[in-house]
Amino acid sequence: MKGKNIERAVIGLSLIAIIVLFVCFFKDIMVPLFSMEFGGNFDGARDLLESKGWLGALCVILIEALQMVVVFIPAEFIQVSSGLSYPFHMSLVLCDLGVCLGATLIFLLSRICRIGTDKYARSKQQISAISARTRGRSVMVLMLLLFITPIVPFGAICYYGSGTDLKYRRYLLTVAVGVIPSIITSNLIGTSAKAFIRNAIPVWLLVIIIVLLMILLLVMLWFLLDKVLFRGKDCTPDSATYFVFFRLVGFLRKRKQRLHIDNEKLKGVKPPYILMCNHASFYDFYYVKMLVGEDNLSYIVNSHIGSGKILRKLRNKAGFIPKKLFCPDTAGLKMMHMLNKGYSVAVFPEGRLSVDGRCYPIVEKGTRFYKKRGLPLVLANISGAYYANPKWRKKFLRSDIKVSVRRVISSEEMKELSVEELDEIIMSSISCDENTEHFNRYKAGNKAKGLENILYRCADCGELYTTAAEGSDLICTSCGARHHLDETYRFTDSAESIPAYYDRIKALERAELEGFTLHTEVDTKVFPKDGGRPRREHGECTLTGEGFTYTSDKISFTVPIVKLPALAFSCNSEFELYHEKELYYFYPVKERRQTARWALITDLLYEVNNEKR
């Protein structure tokens, strides 16, 4: 308890010192410096820095040092500020000296006072996961790699290094060299910002410079991880590409949602296993990764995500398994290959994002394959993600998102269950209805924005494409009906909820299926099977109870409805399907909202066809 109090006192005093020093640095140097440079008084700015002499430089060193002791304060804010205030070479030296001083303080606190930090404890799991992959390489090599990894704070790395038996000289040399790439990047951002303030560069060039610097740092990270730490792991979930991808996504997402993980039932389940989960939002792959922790899953993904040459290469290097949506392909063989290597595989069996917060029926069932493999089946569920980031709205709303393992079916249980029983268990376990979950409140004033792209038909008067969003209201421009969304994303009137409204549209469409024909003129983008440059053409699409037909001046084909279980689509943009291994994107020339209608009608026609068989 006494040691804990000492630790808190040291960190508290360091934090107070950082705030005081930075306020002084900002007030006495940066504010007047900006005023002079905005006014074009560059001589005065130079004189100001010279007049502050060693005091200003000392502030930079001390702030950099103390923020490492505190750990949770990012180093970049003083590094960028230093680049704004001093010449690049001087700023680089000052920041590196500050890091070395901070590393020395941490070394003394750790070796003599036996003090660590809670933040280091939270980073320890990440460091241990990376350390496990070094295959016996030295602590110095691991620390150098960690310093260019943007996920672990400098202070936490120093607490880790000082906790080993590494000698002080080697420890300090590793720290001094390892932080240079990050300091250079931050200082260059500050230097570029200074040039922008002086009107030496336009704003667009400043943005490009900053983006290029961040990309450069990321490329350096990937190269070192690929060639040193993860060597020989290409095309698997243990590759450098996989590691960098999920760390980058984590960095971008961690402040966007509050994840609540329940993986108690996963404990004791050894890879490889097959994980199945509902698909409510685009970032479900990240939520599932957080659910399984250190297990690296191979994901079955839409093959079009990596249709470009570079993206396809990165997708393959990361160990992802491409799958052509609702079309026979070799994904099953690739999945078997990954399982044989000992990697677990994540599957989103719906094959598409939820349109209304409920699960789609599973039209491509792999149940016989799962039984034949005889591996454990992990059934997971995500709730709270749909309204945070539905497919019909671009803006992400901060939400609580619950990710849980609902059931684990062991290899022994798999043998006892029939295919039909297994299908029922899978569907009931991953099933989700976001409208029954009310643990989130959304106070945004434009909750209905984009909703007209799936609720394309007025459920009150039946008119097509007359719905529109006004703030949190869905209105009909034909009959004047107005439905208001409350903070739980439920309608406050008889419409009840978004899926209830969608069901009313579905009932209207189903009643008109007899002798139904849907026709539209489209601009088409065709992605060749060999992954080459897409070609463009103009044509017409027709959908009837018999099937889907596309005709252009180059080609004409028909897909029978029995072979068209679903039609993937993007809201207010396009609908798509595969033909002869080529992917066709159809962009309606008029009324892009009809893409949702094409998808819904296809679902209904497929259902009716199955009912008749």
pLDDT in tens, 543-577: 999 999 999 999 999 999 999 999 999 999 999 99
Q: Is 401 in the same domain as 457?
A: no
Q: Is 102 in the same domain as 150?
A: yes
Residue 393 near residue 450 (C-beta atoms within 8 A): yes
Q: Is 418 in the same domain as 536?
A: no
In the prediction, which pLDDT does 605 show?
94
Q: Is 106 in the same domain as 191?
A: yes
In the prediction, which pLDDT does 147 show?
73
Crossing angle of helices 139-147 and 154-162, in 10° steps, is: 170
- Region of poorest pLDDT, from 76-90, 148-162, 433-447, 561-575: 76-90
Q: Is 259 in the same domain as 300?
A: yes
Tokens of 218: 């990321």
- Region of poorest pLDDT, from 509-513, 527-531, 606-610: 527-531
Q: How many CB atoms lie within 10 A of CB 327?
A: 18
What tens digit of pLDDT does each residue of 38-90 get? 454 544 544 555 566 666 666 666 666 666 666 555 555 555 666 656 676 77
Question: Which of 181, 203, 225 corresponds to the end of one domain?
Answer: 203
Is residue 230 scored above 70 in pLDDT?
A: no
In the prediction, which pLDDT does 75 show?
55
The better pLDDT of the pair 113, 404 is held by 404
Is residue 151 scored above 70 in pLDDT?
A: no
Question: Which of 511, 532, 562 corresponds to the end of one domain?
Answer: 511
In the prediction, which pLDDT does 313 show?
82
Averaged over 290-311, what is the pLDDT?
82
Is residue 21 scored above 70 in pLDDT?
A: no
Structural domain range at position 497: 451-511
- Region of poorest pLDDT, from 199-203, 256-260, 376-380: 199-203
Averaged over 134-148, what is the pLDDT?
65
- The pLDDT-based confidence of 445 (bands split at 50, 70, 90) is confident
Residue 91 near residue 190 (C-beta atoms within 8 A): yes
- The pLDDT-based confidence of 363 (bands split at 50, 70, 90) is confident
In a domain, 215, yes or no: no
Tokens of 212: 């290029």
Count of the separate structural domains present in the chain:
4
Q: Is 69 in the same domain as 94?
A: yes
Q: Is 85 in the same domain as 182?
A: yes
Strands (DSSP E) contained in 333-396 are: 345-347, 377-383
In the prediction, which pLDDT does 511 show?
93
Averaged over 189-208, what is the pLDDT?
63
Highest mean pLDDT among 311-320, 428-437, 598-607: 598-607
In the prediction, which pLDDT does 12 show?
54
Q: Is 369 in the same domain as 424?
A: yes
Looking up residue 542, the CATH number of its domain turns out to be 2.30.29.30
In the prediction, which pLDDT does 37 show?
44
- Region of poorest pLDDT, from 149-163, 334-348, 420-434: 149-163
- The three state secondary structure string of 203-261 is HHHHHHHHHHHHHHHHHHHHHHHHHHHCCCCCCCCCCHHHHHHHHHHHHHHCCCEEEEE
CA–CA separation, 513 and 607 (whole Å): 11
Q: Is 530 in the same domain as 494?
A: no
Q: Which residues contact 567 (CB under 8 A, 6 or more apart)?
A: 326, 548, 575, 576, 577, 598, 599, 602, 603
What tens digit of pLDDT does each residue of 219-229 get? 776 666 666 56
Q: Is 191 in the same domain as 269?
A: no
CA–CA separation, 187 and 76 (whole Å): 9
Averaged over 459-470, what is the pLDDT?
95
